[in-house]
Structure 1
Amino acid sequence: MSYASDKVPVFDPANPNGGDSLNIDVNAQYVGFEYHYTYLVFCGFIVWLIIPGIGLLYGGLARRKSSLALLFQSLMVAAVTTFQWMFWGYTLAYSRTAGPFIGDMANFGLKNVSAAPSPGSPVIPEIVFCLYQMLFCACTVQIVIGGSFERGRIMPSLVFGFCWATIVYCPIACWTWNANGWLFNLPSLDFAGGGPVHIASGWAALAYALVLGKRRHAGEKEHGKPHNTTLVFLGTVLIWFGWFGFNGGSALNASVRAMVAAFNTNTAASTGILGWVLVDYIRHKGKFSVVGACEGAIAGLVGITPAAGYVSPWLGALIGFLTAVVCALLQDLNKWIHIDEGMEVFKLHGIGGMVGSFLTGIFAQSWVSALDGTTQAPGGIDGVGVQVGRQFAEITAISSYSFVVSCILLLILKYIPGMNLRISEEAEMIGLDVDQFFDEQIGDWSMFEQLEARTLESSKSEGPSSRAISAQYA
């Protein structure tokens, strides 16, 4: 990165932690550049909102009887991933002495992660860079958990999340963003996580749903309607807001390129809504869907993630629109592949991420990436058609690695005594919330309790259990 000042902080291998704070002012090296790390830490703060946003989105999409578990898991995933990242996640992804596939233990336990210039940008202290990237990891694991909804036990899902972040997310992040990574040096173009975040999480969620098996529906429709559209809307709003930090901060500075990335974020989400609603309007003969609009916004956000700092706003609008249309047209994807991935993580994040990565290879423009003062990343539109092939390399490598390794990890956990990835059939019928929580349920259950009491009074001994009946209305 080049700046007007000639006093850009430089990493000193002799002082990997940035200097002895008892003897020198470690802040002095950043004088004149404070706005860069202030901007990035603010972006990190709003990225955090994506985590509960996904919890609210998932909780609203699920049936009432399994909604609380998804809210709870959003907090638990943030907690578990924070520990994983501090323990060894950061060093596996971003150590300066990493290999092309995974990092080493140079920063184990956040050793020397403090005031030194970060490996991502010399004007960002490494502790700020570490926090920002940690939240990316947490968001990704939270997306993956959607593959287990309504039938996956909570404790095993958290164990899986810790292990998945270690052996799937961290290596892929190293490939893509570490200066020693093989995809970084190919180079593939991935501004903010089309591969490590979306493609990886989409395929992992599909693996989770496959290993768990289909839900047992006890006479209900295979895919019930979302139990609370308001929660879906609120979750989407938080995700959209957090995505400004997700994409806008990925320049790792407060340059004009970062501002363009933020603008593209809003643009692609908006055109994503237009694309999805258009498909719904035609498919349902002039009627609309709030959930469809929310899904369109997320599809647009996913599509623009790898391209945000590489394309102009009008091309960003096109990417958001096309990604949402492709995802909306795959309404029956779960039936085609015979996997009950009812939260549609694979469709929105896996396929949306692949579409966005492919379109990045076509539409990347050097003049946009050069807005940070130094980067030039041309794509097919600039005459570098080979970039499309490089994007295919990223897509195929990340997709295959994430799906295969996730399946292997889940099968190992499945057969560990006492792990029990899936709840029992009876627990599934009464709901994940009643089975996994004590004395807590979401919303007003008085109507269902009255129904259960009446059913219990009138039922005969050979009839179905009252819990099973009331569960059908949850």
Structure 2
Amino acid sequence: MTDAPVYNVSTPTGGDPLKVDVNAQYVGVEWNYTYIILCSFIVWLIIPGIGLLYSGLARRKSALALLFQAFMVVAVTTFQWIFWGYSLTYARDASPFIGTLKNFGLRGVMVAPSPGSADLPEIVFCFYQLLFCACTVMIVVGGAFERGNMIPSLIFSFCWATVVYCPLACWTWNSNGWLYNLPSLDFAGGGPVHIASGWSALAYAFVLGKRRNIDRTSHAKPHNTTLVFLGTALIWFGWLGFNGGSTLNASVRAMLAAFNTNTAACTGVLGWVLVDYIKHRGKFSVVGACEGAIAGLVGITPAAGFVSVWLAAVIGFLTSVICALLQDINEWLHIDEGMDVFKLHGIGGMMGAFLTGIFASQSIAALDGVTEATGGIDGNGVQIGKQLAEVCAISAYSFVVSCILLYILKFIPGMQLRVHEEVEMVGLDRAQFIDEQIGERALFDDLGGSSSSMLDGRAPVVVGSQEKK
């Protein structure tokens, strides 16, 4: 067996490529970082997948804005990550709560062994973790559904990644983080990704207020089911890399994590469809099946590398059923969070974290040859309490800090978080995009078959709260 490379403080970049072969230290373990690079490419597909999902769920007059935002979010988040996001999260001299600026501007981040795994060059690890951050921010902006102003939303994305995501990821995955050392068990982001994004999206919707002139009955249907299905398919596929690569090596545990991910998504579909079938007296919903798949993916994220396949099936099913039964949670909370980010990611993430504490198994965690973890199934009941501590800490921090950040932005002169009422009525697309491009919506409507013809490319005229040709 080849010895793992060792990090040398005196050469933080891993060596001078003009003087030595910096690749030599990874001879014999190349398959590990090749696998993680492949997983990174797969994870990237989640971002346009979320854009397609959100676009399909929205009314057609705001569909382009959500697609456009997918690319803008990944662009802004990438800048934030290479500017200081990576350093604030994974700096080796981090405190238990936040990293330092030791790696500001990716200084020293190149071919040295990464803080996550000695078998990975740090630049590979950095890229993989960047995509986690980008996916999370993209989930959060769903809270601004159909009423958030584009530029303030992008500024919020940069700030939110800095003051919410980076500290939470540091708590959870940095070896100095307090949740890491508690330890709470979070394989691939149940806390920093899902619980945080769910509560933050709820905060976004709360601060913006309810949409105006919305017909709740007619809006129960998405404007384009085809886009919802396609977006879900990309998210499902991307999640195989999201969870499958979180071992940070190409071990048996990684393969099991991918298997568990697919299994939980499948049982998530079955759980949600079953609830719909009973609730609607023998009728099905394609959108419901898509929501079930996402609920299953969310639930298994913290547990994928800690549980057996059958327990992954249980986690996906239970998470999906609970989320489906909370269909009216927005009405209960009196918050217009139309994308159901809180229901699917917030509640789903909390369920997944709790069930991880119950079902985590030492024999599964050890499949990568290095990880030690026990859960309630091994007789470690204390772990359930530690999982609840993670849930409470991340929920409170993400909601409160997001609200504070949004209120600060809201009261900055010229920083209008919410569009004007007339813009909201006409639609974000007509207000924020070049007129000649509005006809692009015809493609969306034609694909979905859920709207009357828009093939002539003319945008709908809004009269009151109703759209007419």
TM band (smaller chain) = over 0.9
Cα distance 1:452–1:367, how it changes in 2: closer, same or farther (>3 A)? closer
Distance in 1 (alpha carbons) for counterparts of 2:465 and 2:434: 19
The 5 A counterparts of 1:138-177 are 138-177=134-173
Q: Is the 8 A contact 1:452 1:467 kept in 2?
A: no
Q: Distance in 2 between matches of 1:14 and 1:222?
A: 64
Query: Structure 1: which 5+ residue stretches go unaligned?
Result: 456-465
**Residue number among 49, 52, 60 corresponding to 2:56 in the alignment:** 60
Q: Which residue of 1 aligns with 2:281?
A: 285
Mean CA deviation greater in 415-424 or 345-354? 415-424
Could you tell me how far apart the structure 2 residues matched to 1:448 and 1:131 are? Answer: 41
Deviations along 1:326-353, one digit per CA (max 9) or x if unpaired, are 0000010000000000100000000000
Change (3 A) 1:254 1:443: same
Give how far 1:467 is off. Answer: 3.2
1:468 to 451, 459, 463: 463
Q: C-alpha displacement at 1:376, in angstroms?
A: 1.8
1:359-370 alignment, distance < 5 Å: 359-370=355-366
**Cα offset, 1:223, TM superposition:** 4.0
In the alignment, does 2:441 pair up with 1:443?
A: yes
Aligned residue in 1 for 2:188: 192
- Residue 323 of structure 1 is matched in structure 2 by 319
Q: Deviations over 1:113-157 (max 9, x none)?
A: 000000000000000000000000000000000000100011100
Contact 2:56 2:225 in 1 (8 A): yes
Inter-CA distance 374–451: structure 2 relative to 1 (3 Å threshold): closer
What secondary structure, in the 3-state scheme, does the structure 2 residue paired with 1:467 have? strand
Q: After TM superposition, give the deviation of residue 468 of structure 1 in Å.
A: 2.3
> Is 1:356 matched with 2:352?
yes
Amino acid at match of 1:53: G
Q: 1:103 to 1:338 in 2, by over 3 A?
A: same
**1:16-35 to 2 correspondences below 5 Å:** 16-35=12-31
**Separation of aligned partners in 2, 1:279 and 1:302:** 18
Aligned residues: 459
CA distance in 2, matches of 1:16, 1:261: 32
Equivalent residue letter for 1:154: M
| CA deviations over 1:219-248 (Å, ceiling 9, x no partner) | 563744100000000000000000011000
Mapping for residues 326-341 of structure 1, pairs under 5 Å: 326-341=322-337
Q: Which residue of 1 aligns with 2:176?
A: 180
Residues 449 and 108 (structure 1), Cα distance of their counterparts in 2 relative to 1, 3 Å cut: same
2:259 to 256, 260, 263: 263
Matched, 1:253 2:255: no
In 1, Cα distance between equivalents of 2:172 and 2:216? 43
Structure 2: give runs of 5+ residues left out of the alignment: 446-451
**Deviation string, structure 1 residues 417-460 (Cα, Å, up to 9, x no partner):** 1110001111111111111111222422896799999x9xxxxx
TM-score (structure 2 length as normaliser): 0.95
1:380 to 376, 400, 414: 376
Q: CA deviation at 1:381?
A: 0.6
Q: Secondary structure at the match of 1:472?
A: strand
Change (3 A) 1:22 1:347: same
Paired letter, 1:303? G
Q: Which amino acid letter does the alignment assign opposite residue 290 of structure 2?
A: C
1:75 equivalent to 2:75? Answer no
3-state SS of paired residue (1:183): helix
Q: Give the structure 2 partner of residue 461 of structure 1.
A: none
Deviation of residue 473 (structure 1)?
4.7
Write the distance in 1 (CA, Å) between the matches of 2:45 and 2:314: 27
Residues 176 and 182 in structure 1, CA contact (< 8 A), matched pair in contact too: yes
Take 2:368 and 2:117, find their aligned partners in 1: how far apart are those partners? 12
2:110 and 2:463 map into 1 onto residues whose CA distance is 55
1:416, 1:241 → 2: CA distance? 40
Other-structure match for 1:109: 105
- The match for 2:418 among 422, 434, 439 is 422
- For the 8 Å contact 1:451–1:470, the answer to whether it is kept is no
1-structure distance, mates of 2:419, 2:218: 18
Matched with 1:89 is 85
Contact in 2 for aligned 1:151/1:428 (Cα 8 Å): yes
* Deviation for aligned residue 1:375: 1.3
Retained in 2: the 8 A contact 1:276–1:293? yes
Q: Assess if the C-alpha contact under 8 Å between 2:213 and 2:464 holds in 1.
A: no
Q: Would the aligned equivalents of 1:153 and 1:420 in 2 still touch at CA under 8 Å?
A: yes
**Aligned counterparts, 1:339-350, within 5 A:** 339-350=335-346
Matched, 1:275 2:265: no
Alpha-carbon distance in 1 for matches of 2:160, 2:411: 17
Q: 1:257 and 1:289 mapped to 2: Cα distance?
A: 34
Shift of 1:217: 2.1
State the alpha-carbon separation in 1 of the partners of residues 281 and 215 from structure 2: 29
Distance 2:308 2:239 in 1: 18
Distance in 1 (alpha carbons) for counterparts of 2:456 and 2:4: 69
CA contact (8 A) 2:59 2:219 kept: no
Question: Residues 362 and 473 of structure 1: is their aligned pair in 2 closer, same or farther, counting only changes over 3 Å?
Answer: farther
Alignment counterpart, residue 301 of structure 1, candidates 290, 297, 301: 297
Q: 2:87–2:101: 8 Å Cα contact kept in structure 1? A: yes
